[in-house]
Structures are given as C-alpha cells and as structure tokens.
Structure 1
Amino acid sequence: MQTPRGIARIADLANFDAIIDVRSPAEFADDHIPGAINCPVLDNEQRAQVGTIYKQVSAFEARKLGAAMVAENIARHLYKHFQDKPKDWRPLLYCWRGGQRSGSFTTWMRMIGWDACQLEGGYKVFRRHVIDRIEALPPTLRFVVVCGATGSGKTRLLDALSEQGAQVLDLEGLAKHKGSVLGRLPGIDQPSQKAFETALCEQLSRFAPERPVFVEAESRKIGVIQVPEPLIERMRASECVAVEASRDARIDFLLGDYAYLGDDVEDLQQRIDCLRSFHSNATLDEWKQLAAAGNLPELFAAFIDQHYDPLYKRSQNKNYGRFADARPVVLNDLSPASLAAAAGELIKALT
C-alpha cells in the first residue's frame, strides 16, 4: 500500500537528510531514533503544564495554551537550526505517536517548501520495531561466547578481536558497566533500558550472519540493565571459549582496571555492602577494613578467592550449556601482545 504524501514509515528512515525528534528533552534523553536531533515543540515544564490543564480544566484550554507554546518553539527552532537548509533538504519528524506535535512542525516545514515527512506511528512504532528486531536477529547469528573468571581480560580480548576485524558485541560497553557488583563506572550513568535496547538493535543489525559474533558471557543483568531474553537465551545455547589466566596475572590486571576504586573509600565500602547476600558480615567487615587501609592487592585477592571464582564455577556450567566443551584460551600474561596473539588464533580457528 502506498504511503500517503507527507507520511513515512520505519523502512524509509535512510531516505531523509535529517531525523528530528520533537518530543520533550526528557523523552529524548530516555531514548530516541539513532542520529536524531531534539527540537522539542514543548519542553519538559511546558508539557507538564499542558497535561495538568488537560486533566484538571479542559482539553480546549490545554490545546489553546499548547498551540501558543508550540508555535513559539517551532519559530525559534526554524530561526536557530534550519535557516541554512536548501529547498531540496528533506527532514523526517516524529513525536510519541505521530500525532499533533510532529504534525504541526511538519505542516510548517511543508508550507515553507521542504519535503518534510511525519513518521507514521512516531516513536511508539520505532520502539515496537526495536523489540521485534531484538527477538528476530539473535537466532540468525552464530555467537561465540567468551567465558572466563573475573580479571582474566575477557573485555580486552574482545577489543583485540575487534581490532583484527572480527565481529564483536560488547554488551558491557553498551550498558556502560563492567558487569560485576563492583562494575559501576565512576562518573558515568548507565543508559535507560530503552536506549540500551535501541543501541543493541542497531549493533545486531550490522552483523553478517555468515561470520561469528564474539560476545562476553554475561548474567541476565549488567548493572541495572536487563539483557533481552531472546539474546541471553541464544548466547547460553552457543559455543564457548574459556579464557584461562594465572591468579597473579588476574590480580595485576584488576589492580590496573579497577584502580579508581581506591579513590573513594566510602564508595568502595558501599559496593562491598552489596555483597551481603553472598557473604557474612564478618567477611564484609574484613574487606571494608582492607578498603579503608587502601590495601587493594589483598582485597582483590580476597574477591577472587572467596567471591568471583566460586561464583564463576557455579554459574558457567549451569548457565552455558556448551561450556564443558569450550575451546581453551591460555594466557601466560594479559599484555596487549598476548591478547592480540590469542585473538588472531581464535579468528583463524573459528572463522
């Protein structure tokens, strides 16, 4: 069926010179179509104000005030962002459901003379598209799951694989978290669940099905982010490689990779308290004393021996069905040269 004039669909996204999200800044921050710019026709406060009037007074009064605000904001955006655009410039605009907010802006742009279009169904339809793609894509891909105890350099191995041209899905990078209870990154907030899934969908869509996709073994949650069920189930049924590094090499690696934990003792102690469901109060108190003393080598050694390794041994065989047959990747050290060599051998063996 032919799309009505001035209306576009998800399949048409690549046909536009710009994608303009006219929702509020808060909606845009929560998630948006990749590459979109935010030109809100109602800001956060205005949207709340109009919504309150709609509920407490009447729809007419809300539309009357909203229309004045929308007109003023559209005029400001036209002055600020679009005066340099030529007549053949073609923008796509969207709001939550493809309704009045994007419709009003699209109408003004078409009156000016641009071939502006409104996304049918708005962000709501895009969100449905993301969910459907995350469900459909994992079964079409061959994942190779990189397993290994904490501190064995799995993420660095993924980096080395990527540098040598392999397909890599870095879930921790997308989630902005290192995965463990200590994995929150300093000064960096995790994305919303929706934004994570949008980025994940975009990444999955780029992979060639005929080539393996290397991905680190993960639990169902990375910090506050939930790994979508279709992906985690596919990963847990996939072939595995097992990274093996010495205890000393792992401690040295953790001391470098988590050095920032020593900068804020109170924060580190709060993170240790998050392990209360796994360990006794006496053990946690001992670890917090090591944190207070700045004794990270002994603290990380205790984490490895008493928390990470026992947890790893329990979880891998349980969660990853093909872990027993995993290809071993033995690393004498975790230097860039060793990781690069291991990556090269994996690519040669598995592609």
Structure 2
Amino acid sequence: MKLPRVVPSAEALPDLDQYSAIIDVRSQAEFAEDHIPGAINCPVLDNDERARVGTLYKQVSPFEAKKVGAALVAHNIARHIETQFLGHPKQWHPLIYCWRGGNRSGAMALVLSQIGWKADLVEGGYKAYRREVIEAMAPLSGRLRFIVLCGPTGSGKTRLLGALADAGAQVLDLEELAAHRGSVLGAHPHASQPSQKMFESRLWDALRRFDPARPVFVEAESKRVGRVHVPDPLMEAIRAGQCLRVETPMQVRVTLLLEEYQHFLADTTQLAEQLAYLAPLHGNKTIAQWLSLVEAGQAGQFVEAMLRSHYDPTYTRSMTRNFPAYGDALSVSITDAGQETFAAAAQGLHGGRQDIG
C-alpha cells in the first residue's frame, strides 16, 4: 500500500513553491479565518457537517460520530476528485493539511496516494504552520534593511510604493496586505479586512520571499492598520529603518486624496459615520462644518481642512515619537499627481541615483 509522506512543517513550509497545489481540507470557516498562503479549500467536512459530527461525538459517542464522519469524508473526497483533481497528471504533487495533521488530511492524502499521486502531509497541520508564523516573525524581520517612506497623509507614499514595485524594488505594502489605508477613512470600499491571523500569514509570506541583500521599501505606519496590528518584531525592525521623507505640496496632496477617497465623498452618510469618531477630538461643530463643505460641493476645501486640523499634527507627533531616524531623513520631491512623476521618483530611488539604501 502506498502511503502519503508525512513532512515536518519546518521542512515543508520553506519549500511551498515546490508543490503543485496546497490543499486545506478544513471547513470553510476555518479556512476563511486563516490558511497557508496559496492554499485551496477542499473541505472533507463542511461547516454544517463538522458541527453535526462534533455534536454526535459529545452527545452520543465517538464511535457513532466516526461512522457518520467517515461516510461524509468519503463522499466529499470523491466529489473533490471528480470535480477538481481528475485532470492532473501522475506527476501532480500536492501538500495537504488540516487542523492538526490528523484524520481529515490523513484521509485525503491516503486516497490521493493510492491513486498514484505523490501526496505529502504536513505534520502537525495548521497548528504547526501557525506556530512557525509566530516564531519566524522576529528572525525574518531582523534580517532585512527597511527604507521607510515618511510623509503626511496624501503625500503619495502608497503610490510611490507601487511605482517602486513596478521598477523592480522590494516593497512591503502593509496597507495592501491589511486591506486598509490606516486612517479613520481608510476602509477599503471593495474588500473587508483579513483576520489578525490571516494578516500575519500574508506578512510571513512576503517577508520570507525578500532578498536580505537588498533593501525593502515600506510606508511609515502606526502599529494598528484598521482593526489589525503589525506584529511587534516587524514593527520594531521598520521603526529602526532608514527614513525617506516624501515632500508633496498641499494642493497635490488634496488632488491625490480626492482621487483615492471618491467613494466616501460620494456617500455623505458613510462619511458622517466615520467622521463621528473624530468628534471627541475636534467637536461636533467642526465635524458639521466639514460635512457641509462636502455637501456644498467643496470637497477640496474639506480635504485640506482635515489635513491641516487633524492628519498633519497627528502625523508629526507620531513620527517624532516612533521613528528615531526621522530627523535625519533624506527627501524625495513629488511635484504633481501624474504617474510619470512617481515613476521617475521610483527610478531615482531604486536605480541608485539617490544616496539611499
């Protein structure tokens, strides 16, 4: 009988790219909370089935639960083979895992191995993977040199990061990974934020791929990005990095923010809900004045008022407190909102024409 190979997580995780597929056989809810980056979800017990088997286990007996569970697992494995795996060649090499690397993943891996595919099983399952993510965050962060893009809200830091990535630089985009722009108006209009565990998985996957011999560009962020937070070892490594100040005229900043926050400016109800969080800082009268500017079609004046009254003072205090190298930062100038300007700045930084990195 051909058996699946049980691979220690420390061996499997550094070489994830060698596998033809990474298969998470846990339920949809477990998968949605977090999973190994790049994995596909092929539940051998779906959400309702898992609850049903668990209830039988507790209220009737483990034996009755295992009988029902085995029938459901067999049915689901067959369905996955028929709908997803039949077209794969004999050389197909999947990596399979469940919660602890036990019955659910073992069943799937055994069937696939019997067919003739080389199926590997993660020893310890998701729990072992999660432990690796937590333990690896400090060494992965500590081996990298970060160049931190600093500059007040609207200065174009995120666009410059994108231009740097296009130019071939190594970029860690925390806001993209967190699906949030990091401010009171930072919620993404078309995507919900990941769980904290999923955010850490995305960070782990990005950090492990960077070349330590080359700098990594990152935007200066607070520890919290929306409802998720940057792990302490990574935050400490970023704050110890070299700072680069992005200098952008106020009118250009307003233009950039008007483009980025169109969804809020088009929905004053949603905007009012978010601005209400600032009422304890600025008072209801000021919030009402800001909203009246938007309602009167004066969105540019609203953006500038928020920048001068809220974002800029807050940002200056945060940078001075959290980034020791901020006072010695070199600068890069963004003179307009055109993509060519950001591309030229990125080429200058990545190409070595600036004395940085």
Q: Which runs of 4+ in 1 moved over 4 A?
A: none
Say which of 110, 118, 124 aligns to 1:115: 118
| Kept after mapping to 2: 8 A contact 1:31/1:194 | yes
Corresponding letter in the other structure for 1:7: V
Q: What is the correspondence of 1:28-107 to structure 2 with a 5 Å cutoff? A: 28-107=31-110
Change in CA separation of 1:267 and 1:5 when aligned onto 2, cut-off 3 Å: closer
Amino acid corresponding to residue 115 of structure 2 in structure 1: I
For each residue in 1:70-117, what CA deviation from the matched residue of structure 2 results, as whole angstroms up to 9, or x when unmatched? 111111112222222333433221100001111111222223233322
CA distance in 1, matches of 2:81, 2:254: 56
1:145 corresponds in structure 2 to 148
Distance 1:89 1:256, change over 3 A: closer
Q: CA deviation at 1:5?
A: 6.1
**Structure 1 residue runs without a partner (length 5+):** none
Amino acid at match of 1:350: I
Structure 1 distance, partners of 2:72, 2:99, is 18
CA shift in 2, pair 1:114/1:344, >3 Å: closer
Task: Give the length in aligned residue pairs.
Answer: 348
**Corresponding residue for 2:209?**
206
Q: Whole-Å Cα distance in 1 between the matches of residues 165 and 87 of structure 2?
A: 39
Question: Does the CA-based 8 Å contact 1:92-1:118 persist in structure 2?
Answer: yes
* Counterpart in the other structure of 2:7: 8
CA deviations 1:260-309 (Å, max 9, x no partner) are 21221111111111223322122122223333434311211111110011
- The answer to whether 1:168 aligns with 2:171 is yes
Inter-CA distance 252–300: structure 2 relative to 1 (3 Å threshold):
same
RMSD over equivalenced CA pairs, Å = 1.7
> By how many angstroms is 1:57 displaced?
2.4
Give distance in 2, aligned partners of 1:92 and 1:344: 40
What is the CA–CA distance in structure 2 between the aligned matches of 1:257 and 1:24, rounded to whole Å?
36
CA contact (8 A) 2:23 2:41 kept: yes
**Cα distance in 1 for residues equivalent to 2:55 and 2:258:** 52
Range moving further from structure 2, 107-116 or 159-168: 107-116
Note the 1:183-262 alignment, pairs <5 A. Answer: 183-262=186-265
Cα deviation, residue 58, structure 1: 2.2
* Contact 1:22/1:102 (<8 A) preserved: yes
Q: 1:314 aligns with which of 303, 313, 317?
A: 317
Where do 5+ consecutive residues of structure 2 fail to align?
Answer: none
Deviation at 1:194, TM superposition (A): 1.6
Quote the Cα distance in structure 2 between the aligned partners of 1:99 and 1:182: 44
Amino acid of the structure 2 residue aligned with 1:167: Q
- TM-score (ref. length: structure 1): 0.94
* Per-residue deviation, residues 95-145 of structure 1 (Å, max 9, x unmatched): 000011111112222232333222100011111111222221111111010
Question: Cα 1:205–1:53, aligned 2, differ >3 Å: closer, same or farther?
Answer: same
Q: Name the residue aligned to 2:280.
A: 277
Give 1:343 shift.
Answer: 2.1
